[in-house]
């Protein structure tokens, strides 16, 4: 273990001139080849990996960790959840008088690749209102502006007005599911995907337990899933999905492009021979998000939920660019959130390549 770093009782690591959170230390040790010696046997929890700290009334710092990356780039949904946490913290502190704790809409533009390490979020109060308030948030690393977005908050618990049942439903309906049976691994309609395709590259995708339809997806260009977090909090309990995690959930599902190229990739019933035969078909690709919208319909319980269902669907894949429509539903059948993405299918080398200059684009 590196001589200059030592464990202290409160769980922080100290150096003569700075403090390191365990997430940061794990990343440093992994880079130096000391991960086996690290006292943290598990990856950073979602709560720790998305933690933010106020620098001033309108700036917040975060630290992007390698364990929540795709290749060398922090996962887009992970970054989205940190945007959500910044907004929530801003409304809890600087804008506490607004009494608007819930994000209801988000629009993010991913301008450049993010990277592991320190990140700064700068908040502009674009519009403060009685019913809703909107923030403009800019993510920078060094001198690079990397992601910009608008987030609107309200108070879902106090919303009132016209409501009626539109009779909308998922079509075709997904196979029935029972969350207790999902947890036990005994649901007759859903099987666990035990091996994440290309896990060494898609580390962020290894942080959830995936349950996929036992008999395959119903519609080409579409995928259904039930997922829950694998990570554990500092209290030792498995983490649960809360409102902050919706950004991550909205970007965590079977890759539809890869599923087309590699039929065995997300098929829980595929044989080992099938997986081996098709393994290389989708491994050349990275699927970065260009744009992400999130529309939150329902606040999750304060203590979270274990399982969320998501259906993702694409309408067109052309010349390496494609759309994604995501519907997130809870165990009661209520729509929790809707999301829309524009994404690229690029060579994985684009992810791993060194930046050629300070303003390198995706």
DSSP letters for 173-188: PPPP--HHHHHHT--T
If one counts every other C-beta atom within 10 angstroms of the C-beta of residue 316, the result is 8
- On whether the CB atoms of residues 112 and 145 are closer than 8 A, the answer is yes
Do residue 93 and residue 225 come from a single domain?
A: no
pLDDT in tens, the chain (362 residues): 333 233 223 333 333 333 333 334 434 333 333 333 323 346 899 999 999 999 999 999 999 999 999 899 999 999 999 999 999 999 999 999 999 999 999 999 999 999 999 999 999 999 999 999 999 999 999 999 999 999 999 999 999 999 999 999 999 999 999 999 999 999 999 999 877 667 777 899 899 999 999 988 888 889 999 999 999 999 999 999 999 999 999 999 888 777 777 766 667 776 666 666 655 555 577 889 999 999 999 999 999 999 999 999 999 999 999 999 999 999 999 999 999 999 998 877 777 777 666 555 56
pLDDT at 259: 72
169 within domain boundaries: no
Find the helix or strand (DSSP H, E) in which 58 lies: none
- What token pair was written down for 347? 């060579």
Do residue 59 and residue 121 come from a single domain?
A: yes
Do residue 231 and residue 277 come from a single domain?
A: yes
Beta bridge partners of 285: 347
Q: What 3-state DSSP class applies to 245? A: helix
Q: What 3-state DSSP class applies to 104? A: strand
Do residue 200 and residue 128 come from a single domain?
A: no
167 within domain boundaries: no
34 within domain boundaries: yes
Burial class (CB in 10 A: 0-12, 13-18, 19+), 77: buried
Summarised one tens digit per residue, pLDDT across range 21-61 is 333 443 433 333 333 332 334 689 999 999 999 999 999 99
Do residue 79 and residue 36 come from a single domain?
A: no
- On whether the CB atoms of residues 323 and 260 are closer than 8 A, the answer is no
Burial class (CB in 10 A: 0-12, 13-18, 19+), 165: exposed
pLDDT at 82: 99
173 within domain boundaries: no
This prediction has a pTM of 0.84
Q: What 3-state DSSP class applies to 61? A: strand
Domain boundary among 97, 128, 158: 158
State the Cα–Cα distance between residues 68 and 66, nearest whole angstrom: 5
State the Cα–Cα distance between residues 200 and 187, nearest whole angstrom: 29
CA dihedral 239, 245, 250, 256 (to 10 degrees): -30
359 within domain boundaries: no
Do residue 26 and residue 70 come from a single domain?
A: no
Do residue 257 and residue 325 come from a single domain?
A: yes
362 within domain boundaries: no
Provide the residue range defining the domain that includes 273: 179-352
pLDDT at 183: 97
Find the helix or strand (DSSP H, E) in which 19 lies: strand 19-20
Do residue 337 and residue 214 come from a single domain?
A: yes
Number of domains in the chain: 3
Do residue 187 and residue 123 come from a single domain?
A: no
Can you give the CATH number for the domain in which 144 is found?
2.40.160.210
153 within domain boundaries: yes
Q: Which residue has the tokens 């998922």?
A: 170
Domain boundary among 158, 188, 211: 158
- What token pair was written down for 75? 């996962």
Do residue 286 and residue 149 come from a single domain?
A: no
335 within domain boundaries: yes
Q: What 3-state DSSP class applies to 194? A: coil
Do residue 61 and residue 37 come from a single domain?
A: no
Do residue 27 and residue 83 come from a single domain?
A: no
- Quick one: DSSP state of residue 205? G
């Amino acid at each position: 273990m590196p001589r200059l770093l030592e464990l202290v009782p409160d769980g922080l690591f100290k150096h003569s001139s700075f403090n390191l959170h365990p997430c940061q230390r794990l990343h440093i040790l992994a880079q130096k080849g000391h991960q086996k010696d690290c006292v943290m046997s598990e990856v950073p929890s979602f709560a720790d990996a998305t933690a933010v700290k106020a620098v001033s009334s309108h700036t917040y710092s975060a630290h992007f960790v390698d364990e929540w990356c795709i290749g060398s780039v922090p996962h887009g949904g992970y970054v989205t959840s940190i945007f959500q946490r910044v907004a929530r913290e801003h409304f809890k502190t600087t804008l506490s008088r607004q009494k608007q704790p819930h994000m209801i809409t988000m629009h993010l533009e991913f301008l450049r690749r993010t990277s592991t390490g320190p990140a700064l979020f700068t908040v502009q109060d674009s519009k403060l209102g009685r019913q809703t308030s909107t923030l403009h948030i800019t993510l920078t690393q060094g001198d690079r502006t990397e992601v910009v977005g608008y987030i609107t908050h309200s108070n879902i618990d106090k919303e009132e007005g016209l409501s009626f049942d539109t009779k909308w439903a998922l079509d075709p309906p997904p196979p029935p599911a029972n969350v207790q049976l999902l947890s036990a691994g005994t649901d007759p309609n859903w099987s666990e995907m035990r091996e994440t395709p290309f896990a060494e590259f898609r580390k962020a995708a290894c942080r959830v337990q995936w349950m996929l339809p036992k008999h395959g997806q119903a519609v080409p260009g579409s995928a259904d899933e039930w997922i829950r977090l694998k990570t554990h909090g500092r209290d030792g309990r498995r983490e649960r999905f809360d409102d902050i995690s919706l950004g991550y959930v909205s970007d965590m599902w079977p890759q539809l492009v890869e599923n087309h190229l590699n039929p065995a990739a997300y098929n829980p019933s595929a044989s080992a021979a099938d997986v081996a035969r098709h393994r290389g078909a989708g491994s050349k690709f990275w699927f970065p998000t260009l744009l992400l919208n999130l529309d939150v319909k329902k606040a999750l319980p304060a203590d979270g939920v274990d399982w969320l269902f998501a259906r993702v669907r694409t309408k067109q894949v052309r010349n390496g660019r494609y759309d994604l429509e995501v519907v997130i539903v809870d165990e009661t059948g209520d729509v929790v959130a809707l999301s829309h993405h524009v994404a690229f299918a690029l060579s994985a080398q684009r992810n791993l390549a060194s930046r050629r200059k300070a303003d390198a684009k995706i």
